[in-house]
Structure formats: C-alpha cells, structure tokens
Amino acid sequence: MTNQKGSISIHTENIFPIIKKWLYSDKDIFIRELISNGCDAVNKYKKLISLGEAKGNTDEHYKIKVSIDKENSALIFEDNGIGMTAEEVEKYINQVAFSGAEDFFNTYKDKMNEENDIIGHFGLGFYSSFMVSKKVQIDTLSYKENATPVRWVSEDGLEFELTQSDNRETRGTTITLFLADDSKEFLEEYTVRNIIDKYCSFLPVDIYLETIKTEETKEDEVVDTTPINDTNPLWLKAPKDCTDEEYKEFYRKVFKTFDEPLFWIHLNVDYPFNLKGILYFPKLKNEFELIEGKVKLYNNQVFVADNIKEVIPEFLLLLKGVIDCPDLPLNVSRSFLQNDRDVSKISKHIVKKVADKLKSLYKNERENYEKFWDDIQVFIKFGCLKDESFYDKVKDSILFKTINSQYITLNDYLENCKEKHENKVFYVSNEEQQSQYIKLFKDYGLDAVILDSTIENHFISMIEFKNQGVHFNRIDADLSDILKDNDNEGNKEIKTDIENLFKDVIGDRINNYSVESLKSEDTPAIILISEQSRRMSEMRSQFAGMNFGMSFEEEKTLVINNNSSIVKKLVSLKDDETKKEKVSLICNQIVDIALLSNKELDSKELDEFIKRNNQLMSMVISL
C-alpha cells in the first residue's frame, strides 16, 4: 500500500442536519446570529474607515433594521455595514465554516491595537437561518469602489444561485428569510421584539424593528423611532465614571424590578483575559427568593445564556448580574466550556473579586456591611460550603448576629465569652421557639448567636471542622455548668431527694435528671437537649426513610432548680401520703411546662397536660 496524505471531504447534506441540531437547539437564535452579523458588518466598516482603508464617515447613522413582511411571509434583516462582493459571498457564504469575521481579524490584527469586537468566530451563524426558512436571499453591495450589488438565493442551504441584485443601491446587506410554514410565529412583532430584546439588548449598533403593513408603505422610507437596544451598556463604562443611580437604574432595567440592589461589584479585567460585568447583591425578602438569582452571560454584548455554571460558580448564581466575556465562543456546547482552561480562570477570578468586595466592605464600611448582613449571609455561607478558596478569603469577614442584635465575628464572640464558656458558641435556631432560653441567657448575662437559616447545620459543622476545638451548642443544649449558682450549691441530700422524687413520678419519659441551683427562683425546671443527639436526629429527618441501624432519639435532660420555691415545697411533701397525688400532678406539670418551652409535647402529652391543668384549677378554686 502507498502512503497517502489528503483532506477529508465533508458532504454538506450530511453535516447540515447535525450542525443545526447540535449548535442550535434553540430556534430563536437565528435572529441573534443575523443581527450580530449585521453588527459585525458595521464594525468592520467603521474599522476600515478608522484605518484609512475605506472612505466614509464614522458619524454616519449605522443601524440594523429588522422588518416583518406579513404579505410575503418574510423577515428582513438590513444593515449599512461593509457589504460583500460576489467573491466574498462565494468565499464566506458558500463555504460553510469559513468565517469572514476570523479572516477580517487576521488580515487587520497587526493594525488594530484595540480589542477585537467582532462577534463571529465559526462561519456557521448565517446557516441557522435555514432552520426557519424555505428560501433565503442575500442582497448585498460592498463598500468597495465600483462594486456591483449581488444577489445570492438558496432554498435549502445546499444549492445556490448568484446573480446581480436589483435591490441594493446603497452599501450594506439585506437578508430576506422566506419563512417556512412551521415558523410563521416569527411574523409576530411581539415575538420578534422579545427575542431581540433577549439577545441583542446591548449590541453596539442601533437596532430597529418594524412591521411592513401594505405594499405602498413598503416603498416608504421608514421613520426611525427609538432603537430597541442600549448600545452603551453600563458595564462597558469605567467604574469610576458610573454613579450609584446609574447602577441602580441598570439593575432595575435589566432585571425588570422596582427593587434596589444592596451593593454591586463592577468587574473590569483586560488581562490575562477580557471580562467586564456587574454583579449585584439583591435584597432578599425571604430565603426562598435565592433561587431566583440570575447572571446573564454576554459575548461582545450579545446575550449567550443565563446562569452558565461552568463560567460562574454555582453559588454566585444566587446573585444577579451581567458578565460580558468576549473570549468565550458564542455557540459553544457546555462540555466544551467545562474543559476550557480559560473558563476556569475566569470563574476563579470572579470568585476572587466577590471575596475582595466583601472583605473591603467589612473593613471599610462595617456599618453598612452589618446592615446588609442578614441579606447576604446565606449567600456567603453557601459560598463557603461550596468553595473552600472562597471560605479562606472571606472567613474573617463572616459575622454572627447575637441575641442582643450585635454583629460580631467568631473570634470576637469566643474572646468575649472566654471566661464563662471557653470555645463554646451558643446559638439560637428559632428565636420564637427558644425564647424562654433566650430570656434565661439574658438574665444570666450570657450571649448567643442567631443561626436560623436552613443552611446553618452544614455551616456549623464546617466552622467546627475548620476551627478545631470550637463547639457550637444550641441554646437549649448542655448549659448546666453555666447556669449553676456556684455560690449557693445547696444541700447534697436534698438534691438527691428532689432527683428521686421526679424520677419516680416521670420515669423514662426523660433520659437524664439533674438538680442544680439556678439563679432564678421563678423557673422550677428546664429541659436541655444534647447537641449531639439533636444533630443526629435532625440529620435522620433530613434523610427521611434512611435507617442507619440505630435510633437517634434526642437525649433530654431535666434540670430541676432546687432554688425554686415550688420545688422546695414539693420535696418537703414527698413523704406525706395524703399529698402524694397532688405532688405527682405538679411534678408532671413542671416537666410539661419545661418541655413546652421547647415545643415538645405530642398530642397525647398535650391532652394529659390540659387535663391536669383543669384539675389544678379546680383544686385552686376549691381552696
């Protein structure tokens, strides 16, 4: 056999359906492709003028007009850009995947010191028009002197006819799509406007949309009203030139909201990749709103997609914002993005910028930062759980809100409480439910932090892991050491009597009993729940249905206060047979009230509690 070298041939009729399916899963995007081609055509022409390669005026009103021609079931895209000669049509249109945009950039790249703002890359976009058309016609006149207008017509994208055009007297290109029967929805102005609005809101050339009504008006020069798009989106401006009001207005416009963002980060990178954008921290009305975050990705001002998590880390998708990254290919598939090293660099850079902003707010605008904290904390905690490098960057800027409505760091808390409970952080997971304990804490001059969102269990475990030796305990966990009145320990014998009295009456409804001299005489008893067992039991309910082969009941300790006058009275009556029933009634009632502070009574217990309560009332009334 002889050795051979050669090029592999591609049959367009085979590859075409694949291109259509693979690249363009969304039919709407032909509008994006044709408008961005028009935009490229204008930009190329302007560039040639600025390079002295073309005669013309950069101040001319450059525009793209999209017209809906219901009479002929056609959608027309018209621009006054560079146009094409017959040779260029043959080269760029007839050769699929040969991009005039790349060709242009390569020809002039040495002369262009600014960044490349040409959108096209692949030489495929134009062919997306065949997804919706039974016939496509190009009428084009090149900017070149003495150029003649050219018409290219094709019914299927495989065979074409190239003739002289009678429809283009001025420089530029008109692309007419004769819509296929299953694509007539693109004759509705509302539909087309929405698509342009979605993809082309920020393109750098004015875009107009009109519906041609009749044969007569079709001939008329269309009066331009206001363009659909904003050719100068805020993210392109230098951050120092943007006012707060501009940022807020841009937010309201892009995200169609009346709300104000809390603060924002203006991303502006030139090296080693190009990236511009604005990320906003939204104000949250409730935790569930978080799922509504939206980060819009643009490529040279053309919208690509919302929430692409390959580029923007998942936790940042809780924010709202726009990111324009011209270095990303527009038509890429996601698997391509996942493997792109630039993409991961971009993603890391965004994380760093967000962390820097948070750190600077913490350092320089502490008062504002504290005000924002309730709104941003879930985002930050989620970020810390998802991305270790983010945690490392922001760990010293994490705040904890205390039961006294102060915002402090973990180190502040540990330092403040060192004397009373070293390395132990007490927290409240539900202010209402644990209000009794909060009151108790305040009475004792103790502090606790509020950790009440659904993410906290994981967050606490992470903080404990990162800060070995530090333990988080819910406010109703083991407090006995702290609540003990060391100056008034009480008589040991009496303590044993109290414990035995309650044990006899209550039995194994409670796991552990302890008698302490609490400072407050008003509280006969409180319930403490072991932190460990509570976490296990919560974990079990999270993984409902999974049996780990063990049961994780919450371990409850009844702390009986031997300083309470009721308890003192009860123990003095313990040997009085005539009072036995009453003593048992009151012991049970004390336990239920303690449990109630934890919202712990089940329906049977509640029935009993009410019954006993009624008994007590009858007893009091008959005294």
Ligand X SMILES: Nc1ncnc2c1ncn2[C@@H]1O[C@H](COP(=O)(O)OP(=O)(O)OP(=O)(O)O)[C@@H](O)[C@H]1O
149 binds ligand X (CB under 6 A): no
- Measured from the CB atom, the residue of 173 and 434 that comes closer to ligand X is 173
Torsion of CA 196, 197, 203, 205, to 10 degrees: 70
Residues in region 295-334 near ligand X by CB under 6 A: 330
Cβ of residue 293: shortest distance to ligand X, in angstroms?
29
Q: Determine the Cα–Cα distance for residues 199 and 32; give it in Å rounded to an integer.
A: 6
User: Rounded to whole angstroms, how far apart are CA atoms 326 and 32?
Assistant: 16
Q: Are strands 320-324 and 275-281 parallel, antiparallel or unpaired?
A: antiparallel
Q: Is 33 in the site for ligand X (CB under 6 A)?
A: yes
84 binds ligand X (CB under 6 A): yes
Beta 302-306 vs 294-299: how paired, if at all?
antiparallel
Q: How far is the CB of 174 from ligand X (least distance, A)?
A: 9
Q: Of 24, 30, 62, 92, which lies in the binding site for ligand X, with binding defined by CB under 6 A?
A: 92
Of 99-107, 177-185, 423-431, 433-441, which segment contacts ligand X by CB under 6 A?
99-107
How many residues touch ligand X (CB under 6 A)?
23
Q: Which of 38, 204, 233, 261 contacts ligand X by CB under 6 A?
A: 38
Q: In this structure, what is the dihedral angle of CA atoms 360, 361, 362, 367, given to the nearest 10 degrees?
A: 150
Of 145 and 493, which CB lies nearer to ligand X in the complex structure? 145
> Would you tell me the crossing angle of helices 580-596 and 492-506 to the nearest 10 degrees?
90
Residue 535 neighbours by CB distance under 10 Å: 18
Q: Decide: is 24 part of the binding site for ligand X (CB under 6 A).
A: no
Residue 84 is labelled as binding a ligand = yes
- Under the binding rule (CB under 6 A), the answer on residue 93 touching ligand X is yes
Contact letters (x/-) for ligand X, 153-192, by CB under 6 A? --------------------x-------------------
| Three-state secondary structure call for residue 374 | helix
Cα 431 to Cα 289, 317, 375, 404, 448: the distances in Å are 21, 29, 18, 12, 11
- Which is nearest to 553 in space by CA: 541, 571, 562, 570? 541
Using CA atoms of 307, 311, 312, 315 in order, give the dihedral in degrees to the nearest 10: 90
Q: What span, in angstroms and rounded, lies between the C-alpha atoms of 9 and 458?
A: 56
Query: Has 486 been labeled as part of a binding site?
Result: no
Measured torsion, CA atoms of residues 407, 411, 412, 413, in degrees rounded to the nearest 10: 80
Contact status: 204 vs ligand X (CB under 6 A): no
**For residues 26 and 249, which CB has a smaller minimum distance to ligand X in the complex?**
26
Q: How far apart are the first and last CA of the chain?
A: 118
Rule CB under 6 A: say whether 37 interacts with ligand X.
yes
120 binds ligand X (CB under 6 A): yes
Q: 92 or 264: whose CB is closer to ligand X?
A: 92
Q: How far is the CB of 77 from ligand X (least distance, A)?
A: 7
Give the residue with the Cβ less far from ligand X, 92 or 390: 92
Residues annotated within the binding site for ATP are 33, 37, 79, 84, 99-100, 173, 334
Residues annotated within the binding site are 33, 37, 79, 84, 99-100, 173, 334
Q: Which residues bind ligand X (CB under 6 A)?
A: 33, 37-38, 41, 79, 81-82, 84, 92-93, 99-101, 120-127, 173, 330
